[in-house]
Amino acid sequence: MTRPRLLVLSLGGTITMVPSASGGITPKLGADELVASVPALAEVGDIDARSPFRLPSPSLTPANLVEVARLIEAGFASGCDGAVVVQGTDTIEESAFLLDLLVDSDKPVVVTGAMRGADAPGAEGPANLLSAAIVAASAESRGLGTLVVLNYDIHAARFVQKSHTALPSAFLSPLMGPIGTLIERQPRFHARVQRNPTLSAAEGSPVPVALIKVAMGDDGRLLGLLPGLGYAGAVLEGMGAGHVPAEVAPLVGDLAAKIPVVLASRAMTGHVFTRTYGYPGAEIDLIERGVVPSGCLSGLKARLLLGLVLRSAKGATGVSAAFAPYR
């Protein structure tokens, strides 16, 4: 039986961090060292370990993830059966969604990390890395898009969110829960998600998109400044099912006449409504003013999708279609 070939890409993050002379922990371990620290990986398959970046995850950029997507596609073209991306947990939900949008393959892509540093008592990094590799090597993981594996849970990229600053169980998929669990070193899937359309990594990084959270009493004064600051689009995290104060609604409409505006919710999870509330500033009013509802996507993820769509000169006409699969 042919052994699976896995591409392991380490980008840095807590899973790679050890104490530094200046205090605190910083990224140090490379992909080879991570793989060597988990001997059981040799039982999973043949590992091609690389370290394209060694950054804490707040310093990762969408451009970095576009490069990662290209490396994964090249690895798949050369015969790799799956890919594991190791990084810090702060931006995993964004990185995983970008890879879900950019890697056009049924082969598994799995993102993992750790909440505890490599030298900490009870560091879960080795277990998460082994779990991610097992999921990436499994034929059952094919066709599900990018997955996130931590704490033995298997999450779909479009749903996963970091929900706590410290707990190993920080990652949740509140809209539907994990789609699977690793049991006795085997992935057990409880649900399967349909792949949504992908976008080309060859077109480069997302263009700048502003992300604005709407708060009680917000007067919307920032909205009119966005086009002049160089933003190609904007995502508003509205209240509840997608609402803003009544006096802000005309400002939203003015902005939508200049750049594409997507309406998400500041709530932790749930769909943006499209046809329930009709008062000024509610979703019906805002959609009539030209905004596009994000469906189930959070503001963080809607920002990334909009930024990718707007890379093309014709992108503004395709915004609604791009978000339709998530509604």
73: phi then psi, degrees, rounded to nearest 5: -65, -40
What would you report as the CA-atom Rg of the chain, rounded to the nearest whole angstrom?
A: 20
Please give the structure tokens belonging to residue 58. Answer: 């707040």
* Residue 19 CB partners (closer than 8 Å, separation 6+): 25, 117, 119
State whether residue 80 is helix, strand or coil: coil
According to the annotation, is 89 in a ligand binding site?
yes
State whether residue 44 is helix, strand or coil: helix
Degrees, nearest 5: CA angle 21-22-26: 80
Degrees, nearest 5: CA angle 236-315-192: 70
CA-CA distance, 183 to 131, in Å (whole number)?
10
Specify burial of residue 181 (Cβ count, 10 A radius: 0-12, 13-18, 19+). middle
Please give the structure tokens belonging to residue 290. Answer: 């030209």
DSSP character at residue 274: S
| Catalytic residue of the set 14, 16, 112, 146 | 14
In the chain, count H helices and then E strands.
Answer: 9, 16
Phi-psi region of 40 (alpha: psi -120 to 50; beta: other; left: phi over 0): alpha
Let me know if 14 is a catalytic residue: yes
Binding site, annotated residues for substrate: 57, 89-90
Active site residues: 14
Binding site, annotated residues: 57, 89-90
